[in-house]
Amino acid sequence: MIVAGVPAAARLRARVPALTRRVVTRLRSELPVYAELPGEEIAGDIADIVQYTLRLLADVIEHRRPATDAELAQQRDSAAQRAEEGVPLDAILTAYQIGTAMCWAELSQDARPAELPDLKEAVDRIMVLQQQVTSAVSRAYLQARAILDSQEHGGRHALLAALLAGETGDVERRPGVQRPAALYAALTLRLGTHPDETLPGPGAGVAARRKIRRVRAALDAFGAGTGEPALTSLDSSGGTALLPLAEAPPWTGLCALIDAAERAAGVPVTAAAAVVEPAAVAAAVAENTEIVDLVERTGRGPGLYRLADVLLDYQLSRPSVALEGLALLLRPLDGKPELLHTLETYLRHGLDRRGCAAALHIHPNTVDYRIRRIARLTGLSPSRPADLQHLTAALVARRARTLDQRPG
């Protein structure tokens, strides 16, 4: 097919990048739901599917054939994702219609009278592809919505509720409830806030759902070998995930999973995990929650943690007479926040004065001076091994006591 003196497919391919930008701009200007989508999604998923569809159109024109089922997979996946995010089906179909109309206007511009037969064939190919896309998108969207509301989804939710409640004794006899796995990786997750979640308007909600969906996808991918999806209860701040397992995975594998979830969601992810049998899930989740709380209170960074990583903090957070006594070791530093902060930073950097100074943006000599002041005021010096243990425990006890004294 020849249009304006050149092959129609080549003409269209050459204009795909610029046409994609114009289509996306028009979607945002004419469809309110697209205007409210996060900028990351518009520049990423939406622009990608527009560009892919335009290139697919060039292929079907060039080869004079309908699109194959495999070639429509990306449209189906995109529709399923929009369904999970709550984008209405009519908005999605309207977006494809706008893109098709703009594509036809671009393709037919400057066409010559003698090229009318080729133009007619091109529009026939466009209409066939439009029909295929409409059918594929509608079917994938409705299937995704059906899955979200299906009995299978309800059964997974019921199993999750039973495991978290510690009611595993008769769970297999309940109608519609899945059989528990042999083991679960019980995860407690805390998700950071994506920049798009802070924007005004409904787009913030879309960004939150997008973040949750990406985290779920990473969790499901980890358990793909079992044939069972993860059991999750997540909101924009985090939640609980139970990954069904046939056998315990290496800890490094779980760490890599959290790294993958963080990359996928585009936010920091802090998590705690334990691999347990179904009957121990409830206790593991409760312990995981305490571990994540401790990690956040003590200023550790994102990543995956287990009890062994926070043993001292965990033990000293238990109520005891010794807790108050340890906290009182640092009473001489009350009202001197710069000394407390320096001590915490100095210990966190393994007594490295230069690392501590860099973190605090002060001179190493200032670190030395403050550590000497701390030693004079408390009688404890980090340079003495016995004192170092007391100082570390005292900081943990002080943090625990401060948390307990918070109102509410």
Q: For residue range 98-139, list pLDDT tens digits in order.
A: 999 998 888 887 777 776 787 788 888 889 999 999 999 999
What is the set of domains in the chain, with CATH numbers?
2-149 (1.10.490), 153-307 (3.30.70), 318-404 (1.10.10.2840)
Contacts 24+ apart (CB under 8 A), 128-131: 128/60, 128/66, 129/56, 129/57, 129/60, 129/66, 129/67, 129/100, 130/96, 130/97, 130/100
Place 151 in a pLDDT band, splitting at 50, 70 and 90: very low
Q: For residue range 269-321, list pLDDT tens digits in order.
A: 999 999 999 889 988 998 898 889 888 877 788 999 988 887 777 766 666 55
Q: Do the beta carbons of residue 339 and residue 331 sit within 8 Å?
A: no
Angle between helices 203-222 and 251-265 (to 10 degrees): 160
Tokens representing residue 342 in the block: 């320096």
Q: For residue range 353-408, list pLDDT tens digits in order.
A: 898 999 999 998 999 999 999 999 999 988 887 788 788 878 877 876 665 554 44
Distance CA 53, CA 3 (A): 20
Distance CA 174, CA 153 (A): 15
Q: What does the pLDDT read at residue 407?
A: 43
Task: Say which DSSP state 360 is in.
Answer: H
Distance CA 136, CA 76 (A): 6
Tokens representing residue 283 in the block: 């206790």
